[in-house]
Structure 1
Amino acid sequence: MSASQFSSAETVLEALFYPIASGALPLPDDRRVLFLRARDGFRLREMAQAGWVCEQSFRPFADQLARSGFQVGDPARQERFSMTLVLPPRQRNEARAVLARAVEHARDAGVVLVCVPNAEGAKSAQSDLEQLAGPVASVSKHKCRIFWARPVTERIDAAMLRAWSDDDEVRRNAAGYWSRPGLFAWDRVDLASALLAGSLPGDLRGRFADIGAGYGYLSTQVLAQCAGVESIDLYEAEARAIEPARRNMADTVQAMGRTVPSEVFWHDVTVGLKGRYDVIVSNPPFHQGREDLPSLGRAFIHAAAQALVPEGRFWMVANRHLPYEATLAERFNDVRTVVTQEGFKVMEARGARA
C-alpha cells in the first residue's frame, strides 16, 4: 500500500470513529460489533474489542485485517449486532446493497454507523440510509460525512430493503455475461479486455492463467478461441466476482461441448500465483479508488514472470500512458507491442527471467 493510500484509509477510519471518540455514540457493552467493508488501520486497532467481526471482500484488505488479528468473516443475514460500522463502496447499487445488509444486521437491535468521504457521494449515501431506515444524525470531520441511524422494523421501508438487497444478486449484464454491480466494467465488456481477446493468436496452448480475471470475460474468450488450452486458472482479488466467473466459465464449457478444467481463486496476485503456466493473460488493475497506481500492474508483471515456464508467454493490455515497458524488459527477454488502439496497448512478452 502506498503512503497516500495508507493516509487516506487512516483518515477515513479516524472520521468513522469520531462519533464514538467524541461521546456521541457509545460502544456497545456486549461487544456485538460488525464492520462491513472494513479496513485495517491504527484507529481500528485502537478501538476494536474482542468479538468484533470484520467483513471485507477484497483479498488484500481482508489479509491485512487478518494479519492484525481481526476476525474476518461474513455473518449470516439473520445475525443481529448492537453496532454495524460501514465504509460503503463507491458504486451506488453496490453501496445500497451494503447499506441494506447493515440495516438488516442492526434491525431492532442497534445502530448503523456510516462514513463516506465528501468527494465520493457522501450526501447521496446519507440520503439513501435515511430513505431506508428513517431519521439519521450526522456530523462532518476530515472531509467526510459520518451519519448513523437506529433501524426499527416500523420505520424500515421493507420494499426498498428487498430491492436494494437484490441489487447484489448475480445477474446477466448487457453483453450476456454473469456479473453484479461494483465489479470492474460489471455491466458491459471492457474495451481493453475485448482488444486483448481479439489480439490473442489461436495457437496458444497448454496451461493458462487469467490474473485479475474479474467476472471471467477473458477466460471465456481463451476457451472459445484457443483449441490447445488444457486448463485455465482464474485469479481474482474481489470475492464478489468469484461466482459470476464460475458461471461464465461453466456456460462457455457447455457451449464448446468439451471439458476444460478450470478453477477460480480468491487470491491476491501480488503475492504470487499457485501454479506454473504456459500462457498468462491479464488486463491488470492500475488504480484503487480515484488514485492511479501503476505499481499494481508492475506487480502483476512480476507475478506472471515468476509463474511462467521458461518458454511461456505473457499477454497483457494496458492504457497507453502506463509505463510498463521497462518492467516487462526487466523480467522478459522478448517484448513486443502487438497493437495500439483506442487508447490501449496490447503487449506480448516471452522468455521470463528469474
Structure 2
Amino acid sequence: MSDDAPLKTLTLPFTRGELAWPAGGKVACLRARAGLLLPDGVSAQDIVAEQSYLPHVHALRRGGWQVDGQGAELGGTFDLVLVLPPRQKEEARATFARAVALCAPGGRVVACQHNDEGARSGEADLKALAGLGGSLTKNHCRVFWTAPLHGQHDAALAARWAAADAPRAIAGGRFISRPGVFAWDRIDPASALLVEHLPGKLAGVGADLGAGWGYLSAEVLSRCEKVTRIDLYEAEGRALALARTNLAGFGERAGFHWADVSAGLDGKYDFIVSNPPFHTTNRTGRPELGQSFIKAAADGLRQGGRLLLVANRHLPYEEVLGASFCQIDVLAERDGFKLISAIKAGR
C-alpha cells in the first residue's frame, strides 16, 4: 500500500536508531496491514499480527505474516507491541489499553498515526495511559512510544477505555453494536431508506452484501415472511460477530460469511440487498468498491433476481449496473441517497 504513510513511518524509530528491535523477542502488531517497512534482519514471520478486516488479512498472509483474524484477540505477552490505531476514538483508546496489557515486563508500545487522522490526540492518549518515551514525525505522520513498561500505567484509565469499546445496546435495545464498526451507534439513514421501501413480496434465498452489524438482514427477515434465508457477507470480523448476536433469534434463516465480496459469492440468490462501502479503512474515497459489489451481485443472482442497492446519490454506479441488469429504477431519493432496484437480465 504505497499511499499508506503510517506503514512507512511506524518503524522509523528503529531504522533511525532511536530504539533497538528486541533481538529474539516476541513482537505483535495490532490492526496490522501489509507493507510495513521492517528493519534489516527482521521478517514478517517474526511478528504476530492482529487484524479483523479480511482484505488486510489476505494481504498479510500473502506476505508471510502470522495473522489472528475475525475479531480474535492476541493472548500472551510481547516484548514489543506495534500499533496502527483505528480512526474511531473509543476503539483506538481500547487498542492502546490492550497494547499496554500485552507488554511483557520491560516491553514497549510503539504507535503511529497520520496527522489528519488524530496523531496528536493519539499521542496524548498514550501519554496519559502509560507515559511517553519519545516521538518522531515524518510523512505527515507522528510515531510515538512508551518507555520500557514495568506496570507503570494508569490501570483505572485502561479499564475505562477497554469498557468504552465493549458491545452495548443501541436502537432502543433492539440491537447491539460497538465503536469502530460502520454506523455503530445509529441506524444508518441510507439503510433506513432501503428498509422503508422493502418490497413485501421478497421471497426465497437472499444475500446482504456488506452486512455490517446486521440491521438490513434483520429487517428483511422480520418484514418478509417468504424469505427462507439470508446470507450476510461482511469483511470486518468485529461487525460480523455483532451480526451473529443480533440475528441469533432467526436461527437457520440467517447465514454468516466472513468474506471479501469483491472475490465473489458462495451461492446463487433470488434477491440481494446492499448498502456497499465506498471508501477504504483510512477513509479514502473508492467508488470502485461499490462497483465491485454490483458485479458480485450480478454474478450471484439467478436470472430475473433482484438487487436493491442504496448509495450516495453522486456515486457512479449506473454504467456498471447497465452491463448486467435490466429494469433499473430509482425507487426513492432522500438526504443525498438513492435507492436503486435492478433486475438481472436474462441471456
Residue 262 of structure 1 deviates from its aligned partner by 1.4
Confirm or deny that 1:156 pairs with 2:153: yes
Identity %: 46
Which residue is 2:257 aligned to? Answer: 265
Confirm or deny that 1:330 pairs with 2:327: no
Contact 1:193 1:317 in 2 (8 A): yes
Which residue is 1:195 aligned to? Answer: 193
Residue 199 of structure 1 deviates from its aligned partner by 0.9
Which residue is 1:299 aligned to? Answer: 292
Confirm or deny that 1:165 pairs with 2:162: yes
Contact 1:306 1:352 in 2 (8 A): no
Contact 2:76 2:102 in 1 (8 A): yes
Which residue is 2:125 aligned to? Answer: 128
Residue 261 of structure 1 deviates from its aligned partner by 2.3
Confirm or deny that 1:245 pairs with 2:239: no
User: Equivalent residue of 1:246, what SS?
Assistant: helix
User: Equivalent residue of 1:28, what SS?
Assistant: coil
CA-based RMSD of the aligned residues comes to 1.8
Correspondences of 1:1-354 after superposition (within 5 Å): 6-9=1-4, 11-41=5-35, 43-44=37-38, 47-73=42-68, 78-150=75-147, 152-176=149-173, 177-251=175-249, 253=250, 260-288=252-280, 289-352=282-345
TM-score of the aligned structures, taking structure 2 as reference length: 0.94
User: Equivalent residue of 1:287, what SS?
Assistant: coil
Note the residue ranges of structure 1 that are not aligned, 5 or more in a row: 1-5, 254-258
The verdict on how the C-alpha distance between 1:284 and 1:78 changes in structure 2, with shifts beyond 3 A counting, is: closer
Q: C-alpha distance in 2, partners of 1:187/1:168?
A: 12
Note the residue ranges of structure 2 that are not aligned, 5 or more in a row: none
Output one character per residue of 1:168-222: Cα deviation in whole Å (capped at 9) or x when no partner. 3221124432111011110000000000011111000000110100000000100
Output one character per residue of 1:266-317: Cα deviation in whole Å (capped at 9) or x when no partner. 1111100111111110000001223211000000000000011112111010
Q: C-alpha distance in 2, partners of 1:284/1:17?
A: 34
Q: C-alpha distance in 1, partners of 2:236/2:84?
A: 16
Q: C-alpha distance in 2, partners of 1:37/1:119?
A: 18
Residue 333 of structure 1 deviates from its aligned partner by 2.3
Contact 1:193 1:283 in 2 (8 A): yes
Residue 223 of structure 1 deviates from its aligned partner by 0.7
TM-score of the aligned structures, taking structure 1 as reference length: 0.92
Contact 2:68 2:74 in 1 (8 A): no
Q: Which amino acid aligns with 1:86?
A: V
Residue 324 of structure 1 deviates from its aligned partner by 0.5
Contact 1:77 1:104 in 2 (8 A): no
Contact 2:105 2:151 in 1 (8 A): no
- Of residues 69-78 and 161-170 in structure 1, the stretch that sits farther from structure 2 once superposed is 69-78
Contact 1:31 1:49 in 2 (8 A): no
Q: Which amino acid aligns with 1:279?
A: F
Q: Which amino acid aligns with 1:17?
A: T
The verdict on how the C-alpha distance between 1:45 and 1:67 changes in structure 2, with shifts beyond 3 A counting, is: farther
Contact 1:175 1:188 in 2 (8 A): no
The verdict on how the C-alpha distance between 1:161 and 1:107 changes in structure 2, with shifts beyond 3 A counting, is: farther
Q: C-alpha distance in 2, partners of 1:272/1:353?
A: 20
- Of residues 152-161 and 107-116 in structure 1, the stretch that sits farther from structure 2 once superposed is 152-161
Residue 239 of structure 1 deviates from its aligned partner by 0.6
User: Equivalent residue of 2:304, what SS?
Assistant: strand
